[in-house]
């Protein structure tokens, strides 16, 4: 986690030129990797302690720059500056803060770099678009219909720290069943450096395996509105791993992809071993009827959505539990799970409730929404397969997770000790 500054400009400096900009800031020095002739780190001259990280130059196109950042709309290169947060643990959990001294020198360097490349510094944490004269108000037009979105989600248990196959399975399945799911752009941060068809599929898989420890692989580019593949680490508070996709439904209709949704949905659920998956149609660009799991709760799974979904998939144990509450005529089962589909066409909750009744499934199966209204889960569902609950203390599964995190803490402690030895 870091405090980030972004410098947009039109000039890509050589390593030597960039090092000169670094040294122009009092107390800073660029450490250059002789083999690759790149800047490996930026440190304080006196202490040799890292001041901040610097990435770039990355080539950017107009589609990589947010529309409201008008002052950098014509930029062609981006330098990214990252000031690491200090992490402290206490009785209330972890807290994060930024070292003001490090942020100060990073800000000074960003200003010098912007001056050198004829660019502009953007602080995403505090950015506000420049004020402009308001346009004269036109006569009100009739409100256009709100766009409808298709949200696709798959969930599986993440019990293996070395389980890194999710991206490869996703891309292979999308290419076979659902071409709109193949992302034109992908990466772990913007601007996205992965691009199809320029890159091969192996690069997509390698980026996930190498860069997605605790980081999502982000999928972007029309017709995908947004997509993520969860990182592959075994997280103590969140043992579920998900794939999330969002499409504007009209775009899928235009490319005649609606009939391909169900085969893709089922195939990916089977190949990933998903215990639950859903396809929801709504007019919300961001939210669904599935409560977001709060990391403060012990259980890794919140439960089923609060409203009926167009498509749902259940692994066999889950399917047996919910079967009495679903329409058997609309259900298809095989050895790997059960698909329930309310309508032939993509339908939203208002239409589905007329078929399912309200509630669509007893409250015990659904997570309890937080009264604050932010979509988070205040309490996990009372009814769910035992495998989806946090392991009982001292059980083999709980001990294995605790052992994994003990190893992580040991590795981090050894790394800190080696760094301290190097500074002496």
Render pLDDT for 348-393 as a digit per residue (tens, 0 to 9): 999 999 998 888 999 999 988 877 766 777 788 999 998 888 777 7
CA distance 387 to 380: 14
What is the average per-residue pLDDT within 124-131? 75
Tokens of 340: 């329930």
Angle between helices 258-272 and 166-177 (to 10 degrees): 150
Residue 105, pLDDT above cutoff 80 = yes
> Which pLDDT score, from 0 to 100, does residue 236 have?
53
Q: How far is CA 268 from CA 40, 77, 168, 174, 332, in A?
A: 40, 37, 11, 8, 16
Report the candidate in 268, 274, 265 with the shortest Cα–Cα distance to residue 319: 274
Q: Is it the case that residue 195 has pLDDT exceeding 90?
A: yes
Task: Give the per-residue pLDDT at 345.
Answer: 95
Phi and psi for 289 in degrees, rounded to 5?
-85, 5
For residue 132, the model assigns a pLDDT of 67
Rounded Cα gap, residues 288 and 306, in angstroms: 9
Q: Which of 93-102, 237-246, 347-356, 397-406 has the highest mean pLDDT?
A: 347-356
pLDDT at 399 over 80: no
Residue 414: CB atoms within 10 Å = 10
Quickly state the pLDDT bin for 159 (edges 50, 70, 90).
low
Angle at 20 between CA 14 and CA 24, to 5 degrees: 150
Locus of tokens 């899928």: 252
Report the C-alpha gap between 346 and 280 in whole angstroms.
Answer: 8
Helix (H), strand (E) at residue 338: strand 337-341
Return the minimum-mean-pLDDT range out of 14-18, 298-302, 323-327, 343-347.
298-302
Answer yes or no: is pLDDT of 297 > 70: no
Q: What is the mean pLDDT of the chain?
A: 85
Could you give the 3-state DSSP secondary structure of residue 197?
coil
| pLDDT, tens digit (0-9, with 9 covering 90-100), for 167-185 | 999 999 999 999 999 999 9
pTM above threshold 0.85: no
How many beta carbons lie within 10 A of that of residue 360, not counting itself?
Answer: 23
Cβ contacts of residue 39 below 8 Å, gap of 6+?
A: 15, 18, 19, 22, 30, 31, 32, 33, 54
Q: CA torsion sign, 322 to 325 to 328 to 332?
A: negative
What residues pair up with 125 in beta bridges, in sequence order? none
Q: Which of 86-90, 134-138, 375-379 has the lowest mean pLDDT?
A: 86-90
**pLDDT bucket at 312, cuts 50 / 70 / 90:** very high
Beta bridge partners of 59: 77
Give the residue with greater pLDDT, 99 vs 342. Answer: 342
Residue 165 has pLDDT above 70, yes or no: yes
Tokens of 402: 């605790």
Say what percent of the chain tops pLDDT 90. Answer: 42
Residues 110-139: what's their mean pLDDT? Answer: 81
């Amino acid at each position: 986690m870091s405090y980030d500054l972004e410098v947009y400009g039109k000039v890509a400096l050589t390593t030597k030129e960039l090092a000169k900009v670094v040294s122009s800031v009092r107390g800073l020095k660029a450490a250059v990797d002789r083999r690759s002739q790149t800047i490996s780190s930026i440190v304080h001259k006196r202490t040799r302690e890292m001041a901040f990280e610097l990435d770039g130059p990355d080539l950017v196109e107009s589609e990589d720059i947010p529309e409201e950042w008008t002052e950098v709309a014509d930029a062609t290169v981006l330098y990214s500056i990252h000031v690491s947060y200090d992490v402290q643990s206490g009785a209330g959990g972890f807290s994060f803060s930024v070292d003001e001294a490090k942020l100060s020198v990073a800000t000074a360097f960003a200003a010098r770099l912007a001056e050198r490349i004829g660019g502009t510094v953007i602080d995403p944490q505090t950015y506000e678009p420049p004020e402009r004269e308001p346009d004269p108000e036109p006569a009100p037009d009739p409100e256009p219909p709100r766009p409808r979105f298709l949200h696709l989600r798959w969930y599986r248990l993440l019990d293996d720290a070395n389980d890194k196959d999710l991206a490869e399975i996703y891309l292979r399945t999308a290419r076979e069943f659902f071409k709109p799911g193949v992302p034109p752009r992908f990466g772990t941060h913007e601007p996205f450096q992965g691009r199809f068809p320029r890159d091969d599929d192996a690069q997509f898989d390698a980026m996930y395996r190498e860069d997605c420890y605790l980081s999502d692989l982000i999928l972007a580019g029309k017709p995908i509105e947004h997509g993520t593949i969860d990182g592959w680490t075994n997280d103590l508070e969140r043992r579920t791993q998900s794939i999330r996709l969002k499409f504007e439904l009209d775009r899928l209709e235009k490319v005649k992809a609606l009939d391909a949704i169900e085969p893709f949905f089922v195939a990916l659920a089977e190949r990933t071993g998903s215990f639950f998956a859903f396809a929801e149609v709504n007019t919300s660009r961001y939210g669904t009827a599935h409560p977001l799991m709060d990391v403060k709760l012990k259980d890794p799974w919140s439960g089923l959505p609060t409203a009926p979904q167009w498509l749902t998939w259940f692994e066999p144990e889950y399917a047996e539990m919910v079967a009495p509450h679903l329409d058997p005529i609309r259900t298809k089962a095989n050895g790997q799970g059960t698909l329930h589909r309310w309508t032939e066409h993509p339908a939203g909750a208002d239409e589905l409730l007329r078929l399912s009744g309200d509630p669509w499934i007893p409250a015990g199966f659904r997570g309890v929404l937080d009264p604050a209204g932010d979509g988070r889960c205040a309490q996990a569902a009372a009814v769910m397969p035992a495998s989806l609950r946090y392991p009982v203390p001292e059980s083999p599964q709980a001990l294995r997770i605790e052992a994994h995190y003990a190893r992580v803490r040991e590795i981090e402690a050894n790394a800190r000790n080696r760094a301290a030895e190097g500074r002496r």
